[in-house]
Homo-oligomer: A and B are copies of this chain.
Amino acid sequence: MKRYALGLDYGTNSCRSLIVDLADGRELTGAVFTYPSGEAGVLSNPHDPNCARQHPQDYLDGLATVTDAIRQARDVEPGFDPADIVGIGVDTTGSTPMPVDADGTPLAMKPEFHDDLDAMAWLWKDHTSHAEASEIRQQAADLRPHYLDQSGGTYSPEWFWSKVLHCRRAAPRVFEHAYSFVECCDWIPAVLAGDTTPDRLARGVCAAGHKAMYSADWGGLPDAEFLEKLDPALAELRPRLYDRAATSDRPAGRLSAAWAEQLGLQPGIAIAVGAIDAHMGAVGAGITEGTLVKILGTSSCDMMVQPTDGEITDIPGVCGIVDGSILPDCYGIEAGQPAVGDLFLWFVKHLVPDRYGATLDEKFAALADAAYAQKPGEHGLLALDWNNGNRSILADARLTGLIVGQSLHTEAHEIYRALIEATAFGALTIIEHMEEHGVRVREIVNCGGLATKNPLLMQIYADVTGRPMKVSRSEQTCALGAAVFGAVAAGAFPNVARAQAAMCGIREHVFEPDTDARKVYDELYDLYRRLHGAFGTTSSPGTLHRVMKALVHLRERQRGEYCA
């Protein structure tokens, strides 16, 4: 008998349903739904560029992709029976919390908060909570330094407590009416299970640990005294949040009869505990101890796991290390680069003349062709990939880009190649940093749009790191990872590793490092590290860190912008 799992992946602009064969990981169909609200699902405030919200109704409407996927599956596989879908997994962006009432209904869906941006889901990339993030980071550093252990010593405006505290201050009416706050990845499984009551719904350890300072080690969320000091209202909210969080191999609940009927699925099938997209993506790419999964899109997420029964030291400058956030019984380690695809897109949009092509796609293709024809080092250029700051290993969002080596003959495709190389040097820096802290990288599996669509980048990554670059077989590793958890939560496999062995794989073509190119890149990497130290740290002799920082301060002062 055939058995399938359903993966639901909620992204920034769209969501998708993927039906996967448990026998071999074959992806039957994938249906996509672009959110109708705002600009591709993102609601913005014309008076505040930092604001990014989503309407939860879009998430519910997106469940129509399940019936679409079933319909398509019947077309491609005669005899397909949706009753053979045994479990559902859900991943979403995060931290994307929303204020809900005592029934778990988002305030945004209640008439009295209709059109109130502060009652919506606060999308991961909402940056309105700058000041609160600084305050929380500072107070934690002073009073509870261990609260920052899981997040590389920092606390981001993008994370749970920053957003909740900002809501309390900037939108007190919304805060007062909120019984609780629920992450998107926890809310969707609860909806499907037919019970969104905040006190009962399962919270995933992934969002809790990486975004809300949750740890079983200190009994859950930050203690009441700590929260009280930030704002008494947070301490008052604390009991209406949660004190336990679960891994995604566990069921969050069972599919309700109502949703089963609406979606055309069997009632009672397992719904796994939700998690953040990159973490489930790592599982879909086949993560295991020693495997670095690089999710290469607008930014990069570099995911690893390390068994909790082994040794793990603190890894400074790595965004997150959370027990169970990727695989059960493993620490989930998350590092990354805040601009990869975004860096290339910036360059091609703003600095490439039209003789390379009329559209962005044409320009990218022509740049790649021309860059491919060059030997490493031939352009004489070296760049720092910090246009959007450096997440790992410097953990400094306020660094900037740099390019050196230009002559009067330097052309756009040479700079394009130098920018790809810069992201590769940044990637190697993370790998070396992980290994220096005891996390061995034995294999690298890449996934995401750049991994499948940019062979020049993959080859350069192989040449720069001196390691083979494998590419995940799936183009939807997040949804696939969700399906893996759906299957495990349903008991179709005894554990995640067995499910991965059956359902995940890599492509036949592996990008192997070229020995000659490697030698040149070794020289260039030495130079990159010199610049990295000089501009990124204050400890190198003759540091130029102050120069980069002074430029950012000056820019903000002259623009009249927020100044940290």
Contact = CB atoms under 8 A, between A and B. Distances in A.
A563 to B, nearest CB: 13
A174 to B, nearest CB: 30
Interface in A544-560: 544, 546-548, 550-552, 554-555, 557-559
Contacts of A346: 408-410
B404 A548 contact: yes
A379 interface: yes
B544 A530 contact: yes
25 contacts: A339-B408, A350-B411, A351-B352, A351-B415, A352-B353, A376-B558, A380-B551, A380-B552, A388-B408, A400-B407, A401-B404, A401-B410, A403-B406, A404-B535, A404-B548, A405-B555, A520-B554, A523-B554, A524-B554, A527-B551, A531-B544, A534-B544, A540-B542, A541-B541, A544-B544
State the oligomeric state as a number of copies: 2
A557 B544 CA distance: 29
A412 B534 CA distance: 26
A382 interface: yes
A239 B388 CA distance: 66
Given A351-B351, A534-B534, A407 B388 contact: yes
B350 A404 contact: no
A375 interface: yes
A101 interface: no
Interface centre among A349, A377, A379 (most CB of B within 10 A): A377
Contacts of A376: 558
A350 B408 CA distance: 9
A354 B351 contact: no
- Residue in A342, A408, A540 with the greatest tally of chain B CB atoms within 10 Å: A408
A452 interface: no
A428 interface: no
Contacts of A378: 555, 558-559
A123 interface: no
